[in-house]
Amino acid sequence: SSIAARKMSTQNYFVYAPDYTDEGAYARRLEVRPKHLENAKALVDKGIIKIGGALIDPATEHSETKKLIGSTLFVQASSIDEVKKLVESDIYWTSNVWDKEKTVITPFAGALP
Tens-place pLDDT, residues 70-108: 999 999 999 999 999 999 999 999 999 999 999 999 999
Task: Please report the DSSP string for 2-47 in residue order.
Answer: -HHHHHHT-EEEEEEEEBP-STTHHHHHHHHHHHHHHHHHHHHHTT
The CATH classification number of 11-107 equals 3.30.70.1060
Q: What is the domain partition of the chain in residue ranges?
A: 11-107
Phi/psi at 19 (nearest 5 deg)? -80, 155
What is the pTM (predicted TM-score) of this model? 0.87
**Residue 88: other Cβ atoms inside 10 A:** 13
pLDDT of residue 75: 97
